[in-house]
């Protein structure tokens, strides 16, 4: 039996996927009956030509007795793509492993440890997702900000309310397994192969809760309203954690704290655990009418059933710096992604139906040590905080979004009057110059017109900037050994996920958590 990967299979919009075997048989010059199995590996939308928008598939097929001496175009043999998991190691496990954080990295680390028999304890400073959803809705209705249950803290981490995009630069069996687990937990089956898989913020709470319940059913435990306050260390070895609910003895701590646990970073630094400054992304969020974006991308094809709201992904040279979009939310909403009182920052989200009349995206550049004036491990956090505090003040409090029409921004004038956006708490017209650095402002001024040309004038027409967009990535890295995945100086401490500087999104963070669990399983015997 030969397994082949067949790429570049074109299908017209509306064409049935049941036609895929016929496309494969034409490519391989074999009969449909010869194809023993067919699995979709990748599905993408090619919208480079608005007069011919189509899907492109890559599939894996099993064929018996393949005899061709030369493979056809865009066909390659497939090696072993199976997911690998180690047998338990031999080192005794004296205490249950502790996972700090229930974001994608922590949740997947805890889940994989639990189904392997290691009975992890997962700590989360915020509330369970059901109560967290209620707190977020209350905040969006003008209620008070909860310091421990908000858009960034609580079960599922920041990912629960950040759109649910599952795009990941990396591929391979680990990434596929993450997507499969999400699909098995009330996610869509197509997320395993879609080019830009998306769950939607409305679906994520159920998916997060489902994986957590599976973890608990396998012997793991989740403790909410339980904040990490200290890591107990003796002779360079973790011996426990001190939490807001008491001390837990353990020799294995997975540190999956997320990119916004600023007080935890401060504790780690004071504890003597090495931290490093890490370049991070910062800028604004831009919002446009979704209909204009869809028409610019798809033209007349925008009326084709099932094509949905169009997205975009842009990157340009803006003078000496690169400016790029990320976390694009087609048919989405802007929200106040706040974790600290009297600070303001934005993020975007969209639900599974992409039915908002607005499109929005992060629009950022990379901030390095020279931009913040220091390579101190927490210099990036201090830089973020200054911008967020200034944004809160300039909007007059109340967590309204500071807003600036692009037409005003490019003319160097403040915005005034009513501005309509998707932000649930409304906006406060003003200027991005009130809180963004000249470097970021210059990159925006240079880069925005270039991006507009790429989208046929739809990118800036009626567009609004809100900001700052300051939590796109972690400004801190916690060094670890590449092989053991443990801290470079503390045995039993496993920095993991986006907050440790090793991931950038739901899937990459979840895969990092999975790999950290794999390292612990390979090292440690099952608990007695």
Give 69-103 as a DSSP string: SSPPTTEEE--------PPP-SB---S--EEE--S
Which residues neighbour 401 within 8 Å (Cβ) at sequence distance 6 or greater? 334, 336, 344, 346, 395, 421, 423, 425, 426, 427, 428, 466, 467
CATH code for position 224: 3.50.50.60
pLDDT per residue as tens digits for the range 403-419: 999 999 999 999 999 99
Same domain, 143 and 269: yes
Residue 152's pLDDT is 92
pLDDT at 305 over 60: no
Q: Note whether residue 429 is domain-resident.
A: yes
Which residues neighbour 217 within 8 Å (Cβ) at sequence distance 6 or greater? none
Same domain, 148 and 289: no
Q: Which residues of 455-480 are buried (b: 16+ CB within 10 A; e: fewer)?
A: beebbbbebbbbbbbbbbbbbbbbeb
CA–chain centroid gap for 210, Å, is 19
Residue 378's pLDDT is 98
pLDDT at 153 over 90: yes
CATH code for position 10: 3.30.70.2700
Same domain, 303 and 323: yes
Q: Note whether residue 231 is domain-resident.
A: yes
Q: Give the count of alpha carbons within 13 A of 11, CB side only.
A: 23
User: How many domains is the chain partitioned into structurally?
Assistant: 3
Same domain, 376 and 460: yes
Task: Choose the weakest-confidence range: 67-76, 121-130, 209-218, 233-242.
Answer: 67-76
Q: Note whether residue 120 is domain-resident.
A: yes
Q: Average pLDDT of 224-242?
A: 97
Q: Note whether residue 78 is domain-resident.
A: no
Model confidence band, residue 51 (pLDDT cutoffs 50, 70, 90) = confident
Q: Note whether residue 80 is domain-resident.
A: no
Model confidence band, residue 163 (pLDDT cutoffs 50, 70, 90) = low
Model confidence band, residue 133 (pLDDT cutoffs 50, 70, 90) = very high
Same domain, 229 and 329: no
Q: Note whether residue 81 is domain-resident.
A: no
Give the number of other CB atoms < 10 A from CB of residue 224: 20
Same domain, 360 and 412: yes
Residue 258's pLDDT is 93
Same domain, 440 and 332: yes
The reply to whether omega before 468 is within 30° of 0 (cis) is yes
Q: Which of 36, 56, 72 is the last residue of a domain?
A: 72
Greatest pairwise CA separation for the chain in angstroms:
73
Q: Residue 5 has what DSSP assignment? A: E
Model confidence band, residue 248 (pLDDT cutoffs 50, 70, 90) = very high
d(CA 6, CA 438) in angstroms, rounded, equals: 49
Same domain, 513 and 438: no
pLDDT per residue as tens digits for the range 364-380: 999 999 999 999 999 99
Domain residue limits at 296? 280-469
Same domain, 385 and 254: no
Residue 68's pLDDT is 67
SS3 233: strand
Residue 257's pLDDT is 97
Q: Note whether residue 214 is domain-resident.
A: yes
pLDDT at 302 over 60: no
Model confidence band, residue 386 (pLDDT cutoffs 50, 70, 90) = very high
Query: Per DSSP, which regions of 383-489 are E strands?
Result: 401-405, 427-429, 464-469, 476-477
Q: Which of 54, 72, 90 is the last residue of a domain?
A: 72
Q: Residue 456 has what DSSP assignment? A: T
What percentage of the chain exceeds 90 in pLDDT?
79
Q: Average pLDDT of 95-116?
A: 97
Same domain, 357 and 230: no
Mean pLDDT score of the chain: 93
Most confidently modeled range among 280-294, 302-316, 327-341: 280-294
What is the chain's Cα-based Rg?
24
d(CA 511, CA 503) in angstroms, rounded, equals: 9
Write down the residue that tokens 């974790």 correspond to.
339
Residue 304's pLDDT is 63
Q: Note whether residue 528 is domain-resident.
A: no
d(CA 150, CA 338) in angstroms, rounded, equals: 7
pLDDT at 240 over 90: yes
Same domain, 234 and 356: no
pLDDT per residue as tens digits for the range 187-209: 888 889 887 777 877 888 999 99
Same domain, 243 and 348: no
pLDDT per residue as tens digits for the range 429-454: 999 999 999 999 999 999 999 999 99
């Amino acid at each position: 039996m030969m397994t082949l990967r067949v790429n570049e299979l074109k299908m017209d919009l509306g064409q049935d996927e049941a036609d895929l075997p016929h496309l494969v048989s034409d490519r391989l010059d074999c009969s449909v009956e010869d194809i023993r199995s067919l699995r979709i590996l990748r599905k993408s939308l090619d919208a480079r030509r608005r007069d011919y928008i189509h899907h492109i598939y890559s599939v894996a097929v099993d064929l018996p007795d393949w005899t061709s001496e030369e493979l056809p175009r865009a066909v390659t043999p497939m090696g072993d793509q199976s997911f690998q998991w180690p047998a338990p190691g031999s080192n005794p496990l004296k205490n249950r492993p502790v996972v700090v954080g229930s974001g994608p990295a922590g949740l997947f680390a805890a889940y994989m440890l639990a189904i392997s028999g290691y009975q992890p304890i997962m700590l989360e400073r915020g509330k369970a997702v059901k109560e967290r959803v209620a707190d977020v809705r209350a905040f969006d209705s003008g209620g008070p900000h909860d310091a421990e249950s908000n858009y960034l803290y609580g079960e599922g981490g920041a990912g629960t309310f950040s759109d649910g995009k599952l795009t990941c630069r990396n591929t391979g069996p680990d990434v596929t397994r993450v997507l499969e687990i999400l699909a098995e937990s009330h996610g869509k089956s197509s997320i395993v192969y879609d080019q830009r898989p998306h769950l939607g913020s409305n679906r994520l709470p159920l998916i997060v809760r489902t994986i957590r319940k599976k973890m608990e059913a396998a012997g793991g435990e989740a403790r909410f309203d339980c904040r990490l306050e200290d890591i107990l260390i003796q002779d360079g070895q973790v011996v426990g954690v001190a939490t807001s609910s008491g001390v837990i003895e353990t020799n294995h701590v997975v540190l999956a704290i997320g990119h916004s646990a600023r007080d935890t970073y401060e504790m780690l630094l004071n504890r003597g655990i090495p931290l490093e400054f890490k370049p991070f992304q910062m800028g604004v969020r831009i919002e446009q009418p979704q209909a204009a974006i869809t028409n610019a991308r798809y033209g007349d094809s925008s009326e084709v059933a099932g094509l949905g709201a169009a997205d975009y992904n842009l990157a340009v040279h803006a003078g000496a710096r690169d400016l790029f979009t990320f976390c694009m939310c087609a048919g989405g909403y802007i929200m106040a992604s706040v974790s600290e009182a009297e600070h303001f920052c934005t993020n975007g989200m969209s639900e599974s139906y992409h039915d908002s009349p607005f499109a929005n995206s992060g629009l950022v550049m990379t901030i390095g040590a020279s931009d913040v004036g220091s390579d101190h491990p927490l210099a990036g956090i201090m830089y973020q905080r200054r911008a967020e505090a200034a944004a809160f003040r300039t909007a007059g409090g109340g967590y309204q979004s500071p807003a600036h029409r692009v037409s005003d921004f490019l003319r160097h004038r403040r915005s005034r009057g009513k501005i309509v956006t998707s932000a649930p708490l409304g906006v406060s017209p003003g200027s991005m110059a009130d809180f963004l650095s000249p470097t970021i402002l210059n990159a925006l001024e240079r880069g925005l017109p270039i991006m507009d040309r790429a989208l046929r004038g739809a990118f800036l027409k009626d567009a609004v900037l809100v900001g700052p967009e300051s939590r796109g990535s972690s400004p801190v890295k916690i060094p670890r050994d590449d092989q053991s995945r443990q801290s470079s100086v503390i045995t039993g401490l496993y920095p993991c996920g986006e907050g440790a500087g090793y991931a950038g999104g739901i899937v990459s963070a979840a895969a990092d958590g999975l790999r950290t669990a794999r390292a612990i399983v390979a090292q440690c015997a099952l608990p007695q």
